[in-house]
Structure 1
């Protein structure tokens, strides 16, 4: 009898251990995702698994933990994706900003180069204009230096009357020198000065008067034409008219007078020689 009871207890303990082992195996398998269990709205069904209520609760808790772990993993993945997207957007904005900065810098550099080129061209143009102006002034100075200070009033001439010469052709003694030459021969200013008269003057015909730097006035009469006007500046040798026969004359010539005070004529011959020419 005692032996029978010992066998019954051993059998009961073996059954209990098998039940616990089956429950532990099922829980482990559920945790690893290899066994599916069905949960009802009000609790966990144990009819098809042979689990005790405590084992079913443990299994449910494991499933909840597993779901929470999966949810956290998904959240972490979503967060990582969002962070990666945000990083890409920041990188894109940074790249765009850098490109804009480079484009702006290039545009500024180009504008600076254009401005520098324009400034250089303007400076060169000014320098060239200044050089041309200086060259022109130098050429004019050279021409003035090379130009004669005094010339005779015409060319190809012969003297037909001298200063203070008496004769029936004049109301008084002759007041100048008569340079006879072919009709139309140019009549020239003997020195540089300003034209103060260019008009028809009675017996003198077409007459030009020039005032020179020292106040002396020279007069040219009987010309056929005028080549200057009042106010013109002339140099020695500038054409002021042409040999003619206007006024009181018997042949083509220019009547030349020298008036130191602008009023009273003097003998032109010594005056011309004193200035370097001999008629």
Structure 2
């Protein structure tokens, strides 16, 4: 009887140890996420492991929760990696865009500097041109101011005939002044004006006539050559020809006349003196 009770206690201890072992193993399997063990344990939880239905359900729930947690963690990791990658890509795009913006800004600034430099150079060149033109105009004005208003028709001369002088050399009284000088001596316009004649005129030989601003005409005859043409503008002292022997003359000279109305000659001597020169 005592032996029988001892065997029963031993059997009970063995069953208890087996139950504890199975429970411990199941807990470990749930913790490690072991699917095979849990699957095989599902049907036999009440038959071979000694687990009650509630314990089996708890074990299954623990396995499912563990699997879901692992899946969510994996998803979180994947999502974090994707977000990190997307962030890096955004940063890269932002950096590239920033670099492009900086490069464009630098190019625009350089273009603006170049345009400003070109505009400055053009303005400087224009100012220099204007200053040069002004200087030339000033010099010309100064030269005109310094230039004589009236000059004698030639140099190195002596007078061989005066106005109104009678003689057998002329068909009527002398109509001008004769300035005798070496052949080829320059003949010059006595005052600024326009050439209205440059031609051979019979007894006057080669003759040039100039009309001046007040309408007065001066005439230069017996030239050896012409240095001007009709329509030319001349200043006081401009060479219009050279002393010669053309026409009715007995020696090299220039016959000079002054015609206030362009037709009738007057005495050149007082006219020249009135304009500041003495023949």
Q: 1:143–1:51: structure 2 CA closer, same or farther, 3 Å change rule?
A: farther
| Structure 1 unmatched runs, 5+ | none
Distance 1:201 1:42 in 2: 151
With the length of structure 2 as denominator, give the TM-score of the two structures: 0.89
Which residue pairs with 2:117 in the alignment? 117
**Counterpart residue number, 2:189:** 189
The offset of 1:211, in angstroms, is 1.1
Distance 1:56 1:144 in 2: 129
**CA distance in structure 2 between the aligned counterparts of 1:198 and 1:204, rounded to whole angstroms:** 12
Q: Do residues 22 (structure 1) and 21 (structure 2) align?
A: yes
* Separation (CA, whole Å) in 2 of partners of 1:275 and 1:35: 136
Report the Cα offset of residue 40 of structure 1.
5.6
Which position in structure 2 is the counterpart of 1:243?
Answer: 243
- The corresponding residue for 1:198 is 198
Q: Residue 253 of structure 2 aligns with which residue?
A: 253
Structure 1 residue 20: deviation in Å? 3.8
Kindly tell me: are residues 44 and 248 of structure 1, through their superposed partners in 2, closer, same or farther at Cα, counting changes over 3 Å?
farther
Q: CA RMSD in A?
A: 2.7
Preserved contact between residue 180 and residue 253 of structure 1 (Cα < 8 Å): yes
Consecutive unaligned residues in structure 2, runs of 5 or more:
none
Residues 101-154 of structure 1: CA distance to partner in whole angstroms, max 9, x if unpaired?
111111111111111111101110111011101100110111111111111000
Once the 2 structures are TM-superposed, how far is the Cα of residue 192 of structure 1 from its aligned partner? Answer: 1.1
Instruction: State the alpha-carbon separation in 2 of the partners of residues 228 and 44 from structure 1.
Output: 139
TM-score, structure 1 as length reference: 0.89
Taking the TM superposition and a 5 Å limit, the aligned residue runs for 1:29-108 are 29-33=28-32, 37-38=36-37, 43=42, 50=49, 52=51, 54=53, 55=55, 58-108=58-108
Q: Is the CA contact 2:195–2:209 (under 8 Å) kept in the aligned structure 1?
A: yes
SS of the counterpart of 1:224? Answer: strand
Change (3 A) 1:266 1:97: same
